[in-house]
Amino acid sequence: MASNKSLLILPGDGIGAEAMGQVRKVVDWMDNRRSVTFDVSEDLVGGAAIDRHGVPLADETMDRALEADAVLLGAVGGPKWDNLDFSIKPERGLLRLRKEMELFANLRPALCFDALVEASSLKPELVSGLDIMIVRELTGGVYFGEPRGIEDLENGERRGINTQVYTTSEIRRVAEVAFDLARKRDGRVCSVEKANVMESGLLWREEVSKLHGEGNDDIELSHMYADNCSMQLVRTPKQFDVILTDNLFGDMLSDTAAMLTGSLGMLPSASLGSVDALGRRKAMYEPVHGSAPDIAGQDKANPLATILSFAMALRYSYDHGEEADLIEQSVATLLKEGKRTGDIMAEGCELLSCSQMGDALVRKLDEASA
């Protein structure tokens, strides 16, 4: 049975549009061949929106994002808009989407494709088969806590203040996402904080443990201090399944985990919000990389991070895990066959442009489902 799902595509700036063009090929392929059909609409964000509307995200675009089953975003920013005031910079569009959609859980998979193990900064045996999911709390903690600011002291010194703060509900809702994810994976959650030196970390640990006891004890829960976790990630990364952590530690640990996999052009992400009365979870999917102005407009970008972000949308927003698997397996096959964009090029491999990579993937999808 065909089912229509709404998808709002926001290509943004730089290589965003080129990468999104390849996602369109995959969406069209699914429309033509499989049981998933999408109502796709497209709008502006970032510099492109500033050029058209004078703001990085128009109100109408925000409304459309709130109504869509999922939002797929390319990347924002570039030198053209670098000197604008902070309040209307391209990145503000992204922040507005995250804030108004209340996307509190950021999912960053660190998955090492076998064909790319050599690109990792770690030894191949440490990263081969690596498959970690980092769940980072995204709307609370020290980046948003009050009081904050820089103040002048009477003695002539200045003092900078930020506040790490979490409430029970903020911790529980993101921990629930982690437990749910673990249930669909290897069934293990490692919750990471600094309960030894921070009260907010102690509360985090207590609330996660409490929630674990309330119907989540099918999941194996462990706790780890953040400094140890950063060490373990580069020592024996395969020990982890799902890592659950706060905004600040998640920011750092997810970048560390990203480097284990070697390439920025391969990394997808998802940001999830609450489930509404209709059972829909607000969600935005985007590659981890930026707009790459140095290669924009040259058909050189690696579109796979954006395509893999769409695969995450299939799995988490549209409940089409099979199609997500198909895309991920086809990407793995392409890499194994030595098809590469410039950023992941290796000796003996075949160099493809962005659009050639999109075409090659569609051919793989055809083969895989023949």
Q: By the 8 A CB rule, do 175 and 187 touch?
A: no
Residue type present at position 162? N
From CA 107, how far away is CA 281, in angstroms rounded?
14
Sole window of 243-251, 252-260, 277-285, 292-300 interacting with ligand NAD (rule: CB under 6 A) = 292-300
Sole window of 75-83, 183-191, 212-220, 331-339 interacting with ligand NAD (rule: CB under 6 A) = 75-83
One character per residue 317-336, x = contact with ligand NAD (rule: CB under 6 A): --------------------
Q: Is 302 in the site for ligand NAD (CB under 6 A)?
A: yes
Q: Is 289 in the site for ligand NAD (CB under 6 A)?
A: yes
Among the listed residues 43, 170, 246, 343, the single contact to ligand NAD using CB under 6 A? 343
Q: In DSSP terms, which residues pair with 37 in a beta bridge?
A: 4
From CA 90, how far away is CA 201, in angstroms rounded?
33
Among the listed residues 151, 218, 294, 319, the single contact to ligand NAD using CB under 6 A? 294
Q: Is 78 in the site for ligand NAD (CB under 6 A)?
A: yes
Among the listed residues 295, 311, 331, 334, the single contact to ligand NAD using CB under 6 A? 295
From CA 108, how far away is CA 127, in angstroms rounded?
16
Minimum CB–partner distance for residue 285 and ligand NAD (Å): 12
From CA 288, how far away is CA 105, in angstroms rounded?
15
Closer CB to ligand NAD, residue 241 or residue 286? 286
Q: What is the DSSP letter of 140?
A: S
Among the listed residues 58, 251, 293, 338, the single contact to ligand NAD using CB under 6 A? 293
Which residues within the stretch 133-192 sit at the binding site for ligand NAD (CB under 6 A)? none
Minimum CB–partner distance for residue 291 and ligand NAD (Å): 4
Q: Quick one: residue 7, left, alpha or beta (phi over 0 = left, psi -120 to 50 = alpha)?
A: beta
Minimum CB–partner distance for residue 304 and ligand NAD (Å): 8
Nearest to 106 by CA among 301, 262, 253: 253
Sole window of 111-119, 125-133, 148-156, 283-291 interacting with ligand NAD (rule: CB under 6 A) = 283-291
CA torsion sign for 48, 14, 270, 247 is: negative
From CA 350, how far away is CA 346, in angstroms rounded?
8
Among the listed residues 17, 181, 270, 292, the single contact to ligand NAD using CB under 6 A? 292
Joined tokens for residue 45: 């964000």
Question: Which SS3 state, helix, strand or coil, does residue 172 take?
Answer: helix
Q: By the 8 A CB rule, do 301 and 18 touch?
A: yes
Joined tokens for residue 90: 């391209």
Minimum CB–partner distance for residue 274 and ligand NAD (Å): 22
Which residues within the stretch 89-128 sit at the binding site for ligand NAD (CB under 6 A)? 91, 94
Minimum CB–partner distance for residue 12 and ligand NAD (Å): 6
From CA 160, how far away is CA 149, in angstroms rounded?
6
Minimum CB–partner distance for residue 262 and ligand NAD (Å): 12
Write phi, then psi, for 11 (nearest 5 degrees). Answer: -65, -35
Using CB under 6 A as the binding criterion, the count of chain residues that bind ligand NAD stands at: 22
Closer CB to ligand NAD, residue 43 or residue 286? 286
Instruction: Report the relative pairing of strands 149-152 and 158-161 from DSSP bridges.
Output: antiparallel
Instruction: Report the relative pairing of strands 281-287 and 268-275 from DSSP bridges.
Output: antiparallel
Q: How far is CA 242 from CA 88, 136, 138, 190, 281, in A?
A: 36, 10, 16, 6, 20
Closer CB to ligand NAD, residue 47 or residue 201? 47
Q: Is 301 in the site for ligand NAD (CB under 6 A)?
A: yes
Which residues are annotated as catalytic? 143, 194, 227, 251, 255
Sole window of 33-41, 206-214, 297-305, 312-320 interacting with ligand NAD (rule: CB under 6 A) = 297-305
Residues forming the site for ligand NAD (CB under 6 A)? 15, 75-78, 91, 94, 264-265, 286, 289-295, 301-302, 305, 341, 343
